[in-house]
């Protein structure tokens, strides 16, 4: 299989990752660039008002961006600049973009000869949204191509969730598949869904007058803790049986099954051969997959798309010898590069998601960050002991957005009712004053859009605080001066948008650093394997779209 391993996924990027030396050079360029901006990367944004974080940013940048239209702020992570911005600001944004790995979907038929996407039928795609359907269609075709080329006995879907990918590989592409997940409920869902799909395919096969004996279902297993050793222990399990029994596996059970299956495979003269696959394997799970691929001779290839970098464990001097999620490579460990929790969080920011936000969505997101930062001031003043625990109030964005839409709709209806009443009053005879009618309209407001903009943000902030306290198990006290805290900080709220946009510009660079570290880890293994980074999904549908694809050299 000619795969073009080692490309950088971006023809416009001056950096390459086709060799370990080039990959390390790219990583060092990123490290040199981000070092002066540690104040942006490491700052806890919840302390925006408390620590006056905007004061650490170039004053000329903030003065320029504080009145900038929201649509231009949302384009900053994509590298878009306005010509009237300061040269130093334009250089920062353009350099950020130039160091980020290219996200434009690759020409997969050119990179992976023989690859052909198949549109899923309604039975297999039931329950999938547009994003998931796109991901599963593209990824399953890639996995099938590689597994077939290697004549692999089995595909292991790591972090399988509800089994969408595993079922397509099993039913559509006819592979033996093991779907593993930490959640036993997901295993039950996978098995139940597989049985329903089996009934459909069995009926279709019978209509064709063929036997259904060869219809293969994915096997589902649940691991409470997934490790390299646990994955390696699966290598000798035969997946040729025609069943989809979900098994909750303990270490002892797996060892016993492993001995039995290994004996059977050895007597048959077959060498176990596996392909590991993971669609958005969270945090360290992606790292476990890559380490297993390197350490386990039975694993011939790995296809991994990671996510949730915020959940990665990170190497520190006091835990030397522990295998952490970042960095993986010797080269990055030697460089002393450290991202920290805020940096890993920031790596999850997507330029595509920012770019595709409508103006209203961007404004809403900036408002939420302002509310959260002001709420932190409430906690500091009234609940200082809680602040020490680094509390998380969860995502309140959707609920607040729905509430705003309801209030805007009610405001609009109220406006229309009052306007209709005023017009009815005037039907009996328009006064001689020709401005009377327009004056009556202005008394009730101008347009619903303008009314929505004039919604009192303080009332929303008060509701945010009450919700946040409730989620933290705290009571709202009468002496909590929400109004005073909001009024003290509201004048600086307009700086949240520029500040967050500048931080978000570093997100794709930090994610690139994590991806390159994983690639470098594989490249450091020498010529025994080949690996590449490849953007396989449409980034507008699936922004986390870069796959690490690796295979053992000479594997067949």
Q: What is the pLDDT along the chain (556 residues), one digit of tens a residue?
A: 333 444 444 445 689 999 999 999 999 999 999 999 999 999 999 999 999 999 999 999 999 999 999 999 999 999 999 999 999 999 999 999 999 999 999 999 999 999 999 999 999 999 999 999 999 999 999 999 999 999 998 999 999 998 999 999 999 999 999 999 888 888 788 888 888 888 888 888 777 766 666 677 888 888 777 788 888 777 666 444 444 344 444 444 554 554 444 444 344 456 778 999 999 999 999 999 999 999 999 999 999 999 999 999 997 645 555 678 999 999 999 988 999 999 999 999 999 999 999 889 999 999 999 999 999 999 999 999 998 888 888 766 555 555 555 555 555 454 444 434 433 333 333 233 333 223 322 332 334 443 344 347 899 999 999 999 999 999 988 889 999 999 999 999 999 999 999 999 999 999 999 999 999 999 999 999 999 999 999 999 999 999 999 999 887 6
Tokens representing 397 are 């964005």
User: Strand 529-535 relative to strand 274-282: parallel, antiparallel, unpaired?
Assistant: unpaired
Beta-carbon contacts of 284 under 8 Å, excluding residues fewer than 6 positions away, are 311, 312, 313, 324, 325
Task: Report CA dihedral (216, 217, 222, 226) to the nearest 10 degrees.
Answer: 50
- Indicate the helix (H) or strand (E) that contains 497: helix 496-523
Helix-strand-coil split of the chain, %, nearest 5: 55, 10, 35
pLDDT score of 339: 93
Determine the topology of domain 124-239+272-328+516-552 in CATH: Rossmann fold (3.40.50)
pLDDT for 450:
39
The reported pLDDT for the residue numbered 78 is 96
Q: Please tell me the pTM assigned to this model.
A: 0.84
Query: Closest by alpha carbon to 540, among 362, 353, 360, 359?
Result: 353
Both structure tokens of 75? 């384009």
Please name the residue that has the structure tokens 């384009």: 75
Gyration radius (Cα) of the chain, Å: 28
Question: Which tokens belong to 443?
Answer: 């008394």
The pLDDT, as a whole number, for residue 332 is 94
Q: In whole angstroms, what separates CA 276 from the centre of its chain?
A: 20
**Residue 202: per-residue pLDDT:** 86
Burial 360-386, CB ≥16 within 10 A → b, else e:
ebbbbbbbbbbbbbbbbbbbeebbeee
**Exposure pattern of 52-76 as b/e (b: 16+ CB <10 Å)?**
ebbeebeeebbebbeeeebeebbbb
């Amino acid at each position: 299989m000619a795969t073009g391993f080692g490309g950088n996924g971006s023809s416009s990027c001056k950096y390459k990752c086709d060799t370990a030396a080039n990959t390390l050079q790219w990583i060092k360029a990123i490290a040199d660039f981000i070092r002066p901006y540690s104040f942006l990367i490491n700052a806890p944004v919840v302390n925006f008002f408390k620590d006056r974080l905007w004061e650490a940013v170039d004053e000329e940048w903030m003065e320029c961006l504080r009145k900038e239209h929201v649509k231009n702020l949302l384009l900053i992570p994509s590298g878009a600049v306005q010509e009237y911005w300061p040269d130093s600001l334009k250089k920062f944004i353009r350099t950020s973009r130039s160091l980020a790995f290219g996200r434009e979907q690759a020409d997969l038929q050119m990179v992976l000869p023989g690859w052909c996407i198949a549109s899923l039928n309604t039975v297999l795609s039931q329950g999938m949204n547009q994003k998931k359907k796109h991901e599963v269609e593209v990824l399953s075709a890639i996995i099938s191509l590689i597994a077939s080329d290697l004549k692999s006995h089995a595909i292991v879907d790591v972090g399988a969730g509800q089994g969408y990918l595993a079922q397509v590989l099993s039913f559509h592409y006819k592979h033996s598949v093991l779907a593993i997940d930490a959640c036993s409920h997901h295993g039950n869902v996978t098995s139940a869904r597989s049985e329903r799909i089996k009934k459909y395919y069995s009926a279709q096969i019978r209509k064709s007058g063929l036997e259904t004996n060869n219809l293969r279902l994915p096997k589902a297993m649940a691991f409470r803790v997934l490790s390299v050793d646990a994955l390696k222990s699966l290598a000798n399990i035969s997946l040729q049986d025609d069943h989809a029994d979900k098994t909750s596996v303990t270490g002892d059970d797996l060892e016993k099954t492993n001995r039995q299956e290994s004996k059977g495979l050895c007597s048959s003269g077959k060498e176990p051969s596996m392909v590991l696959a993971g669609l958005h394997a969270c945090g360290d799970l992606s790292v476990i997959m890559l380490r297993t691929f390197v350490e386990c001779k039975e694993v011939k290839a790995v296809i991994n798309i990671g996510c949730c970098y915020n959940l990665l464990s990170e190497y520190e001097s006091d835990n030397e010898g522990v295998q952490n999620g970042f960095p993986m490579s010797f080269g990055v460990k030697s460089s002393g590069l450290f991202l920290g929790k805020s940096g890993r969080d920031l790596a999850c920011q997507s330029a595509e998601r920012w770019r595709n936000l409508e103006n209203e969505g961007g404004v809403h997101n900036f408002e939420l960050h302002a509310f959260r930062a002001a709420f932190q001031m409430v906690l500091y003043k009234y609940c200082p002991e809680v602040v020490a625990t680094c509390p998380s109030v969860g995502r309140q964005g959707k609920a607040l957005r729905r509430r705003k839409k309801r209030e805007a709709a009610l405001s609009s209806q109220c406006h229309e009712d009052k306007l209709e009443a005023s017009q009815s009053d005037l039907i009996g005879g328009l006064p001689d004053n020709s401005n009377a009618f327009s004056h009556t309209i202005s008394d009730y407001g101008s347009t619903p859009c303008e009314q929505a903009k004039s919604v009192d943000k303080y009332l929303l902030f008060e509701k945010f605080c009450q919700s946040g306290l409730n989620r933290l198990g705290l009571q709202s006290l009468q002496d909590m001066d929400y109004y005073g805290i909001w009024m003290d900080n509201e004048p600086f709220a307009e700086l949240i948008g520029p500040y967050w946009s500048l931080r978000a510009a570093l997100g794709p660079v930090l994610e690139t650093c994590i991806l390159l570290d994983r690639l470098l880890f594989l490249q450091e293994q020498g010529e025994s394997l080949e690996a590449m980074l490849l953007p396989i999904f449409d980034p507008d549908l699936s922004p986390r779209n870069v796959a690490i694809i690796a295979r053992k050299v000479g594997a067949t």
